[in-house]
């Protein structure tokens, strides 16, 4: 069974109050929890009921997202509804369906909105991740908000988006292992297609090299101060990003066969520089980790246990102005997965 914090928080509303939306959500929740066929009409009614949720989350900026969520919870009586739906979700088995994961996601965002967060090994949810995924859909195609919740909710330490990224990483690592020539830009584009469709299954006509700005580009100010990296990120057009990736690959391929073997430095250089270039709309960390893992396999050293680094992006930002030397210090103390070649 899913472990979940049962503490009720916040105002419960007037006893006996009739809330039409409560009935719709509870009917859907009971249908999802019960074994057997699922009622798609009930699901569609819930989607319509909270159709403005993505816009409420987004607002004008990421600032104030939790305040907007709290107001949304008050407007939709989530303080009354959340404990009831939470009790239903607590009945779910360890292995759950996509529909049940959607329900768990709704519980997650409700609990965040009413400051009734739950800890692992139960259900946890990040409103900021939801905001980010919904923003990325501009480049990857439409997806209803329940599907988004299902990808992002963490249940007993497991998250669908993370699982799909790991799957794409494994697939691309096999591709690189079978490659009998230097890695080329077309290989990067093919690999990125695997990453994008794993994270966003509905995606079509994916542009592997972005031609628009991201918030991560703010880090370029720090990169420009680093003389070992500045030539990778001189400009921020798609053509310049392609040029930067080609230059990166020239050095990457050399490091795979270099007689001057400096594993900690090489690992840090690969990871840091690829993230600095940040060529893709999303999934840059997954691509960078794949290239690092390929280096480990090709050189016979232990792979990095990425799951032991709590936030790859935060670690990257922390050492940005001093990378790759600073990143090398971080990765040197990171747990490793023993190489099968040793």
User: Where in the chain are the domains?
Assistant: 20-156, 162-337
pLDDT confidence band for 311 (50 / 70 / 90): low
Q: How far apart are CA 114 and CA 125, in angstroms?
A: 13
Between 329 and 166, where is the model more confident?
Answer: 166
Residues in contact with 340: Cβ distance below 8 Å, sequence separation at least 6, in sequence order = none
How many residues are listed for the chain in this entry?
A: 342
Phi/psi region, residue 16 (left: phi>0; alpha: psi -120 to 50; beta: rest), is left
Q: How far apart are CA 77 and CA 19, in angstroms?
A: 8
What percent of the chain has pLDDT above 70?
A: 73
Q: Provide the pLDDT for residue 228.
A: 61
Degrees (nearest 5) of the Cα angle 204, 210, 214? 115
Residues 243-300 have pLDDT tens digits of 889 989 999 999 898 877 778 778 878 887 888 888 999 999 899 999 999 999 998 8
Residues 144-174 have pLDDT tens digits of 999 999 999 998 888 999 999 999 999 999 9
- Return the DSSP state at 63: T
Residues in contact with 61: Cβ distance below 8 Å, sequence separation at least 6, in sequence order = none
Q: Which of 256, 230, 254 is nearest to 244 (CA)?
A: 230
Q: Provide the pLDDT for residue 110.
A: 92
Strand order in the sheet with 123-124: 123-124, 154-155, 158-159
**CATH, domain range 162-337:** 1.10.3290
CA end-to-end span of the chain, whole Å?
A: 40
- Confidence check: pLDDT of 106 > 70: yes
Q: Provide the pLDDT for residue 328.
A: 56
Containing 273, the helix (H) or strand (E) segment is helix 263-277
- Region 304-319: mean pLDDT is 59
Residues 135-148 have pLDDT tens digits of 888 889 889 999 99
- Region 2-16: mean pLDDT is 40
Q: Provide the pLDDT for residue 179.
A: 93
Residues 35-63 have pLDDT tens digits of 887 889 999 999 999 999 988 877 555 56
Mean pLDDT of the chain: 79
* CA distances from residue 67 to 59, 78, 102, 237, 317 in whole angstroms, order as listed: 11, 14, 23, 35, 27
Between 64 and 80, where is the model more confident?
Answer: 80
**Cβ distance 146 to 46 under 8 Å?**
yes
Rounded (to 5) percent helix, strand, coil in the chain = 60, 5, 35
Q: How far apart are CA 331 and CA 328, in angstroms?
A: 5
Q: Where are any strands of DSSP class E within 82-205?
A: 123-124, 154-155, 158-159
């Amino acid at each position: 069974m899913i472990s979940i914090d049962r503490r009720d928080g916040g105002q419960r509303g007037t006893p006996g109050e009739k809330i039409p939306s409560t009935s719709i959500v509870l009917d859907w929740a009971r249908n999802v929890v019960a074994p057997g066929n699922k009622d798609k009409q009930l699901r569609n009614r819930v989607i319509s009921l909270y159709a403005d949720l993505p816009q409420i989350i987004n607002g004008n900026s990421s600032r104030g997202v939790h305040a907007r969520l709290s107001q949304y919870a008050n407007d939709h009586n989530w303080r009354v509804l959340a404990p009831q739906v939470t009790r239903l979700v607590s009945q779910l088995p360890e292995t759950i369906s996509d529909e049940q994961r959607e329900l768990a996601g709704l519980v997650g965002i409700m609990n965040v909105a009413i400051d009734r967060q739950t800890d692992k090994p139960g259900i946890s949810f990040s409103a900021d991740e939801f905001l980010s995924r919904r923003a990325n859909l501009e480049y990857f195609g439409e997806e209803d908000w329940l599907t988004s919740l299902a990808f992002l909710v963490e249940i007993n330490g497991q998250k669908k988006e993370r699982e799909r990224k790991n799957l794409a990483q494994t697939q691309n690592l096999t591709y690189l292992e079978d490659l009998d020539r230097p890695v080329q830009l077309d290989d990067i584009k093919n690999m990125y297609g695997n990453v994008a469709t794993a994270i966003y299954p509905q995606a079509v006509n994916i542009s592997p090299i972005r031609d628009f700005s991201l918030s991560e580009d703010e880090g370029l100010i720090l990169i420009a101060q680093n003389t070992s990296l500045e030539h990778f990120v001189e400009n921020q057009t798609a053509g310049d990003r392609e040029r930067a990736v080609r230059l990166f690959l020239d050095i990457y391929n050399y490091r795979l066969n270099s007689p001057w073997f400096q594993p900690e430095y090489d690992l840090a250089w690969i990871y840091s520089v690829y993230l600095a270039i940040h060529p893709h709309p999303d999934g840059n960390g997954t691509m960078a980790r794949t290239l690092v893992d390929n280096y480990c396999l090709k050189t016979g050293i232990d792979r990095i246990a990425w799951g032991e680094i709590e936030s790859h992006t935060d670690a990257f930002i922390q050492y940005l102005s001093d990378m790759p030397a600073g990143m090398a210090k971080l990765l040197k103390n990171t747990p490793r997965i023993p190489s099968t070649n040793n």
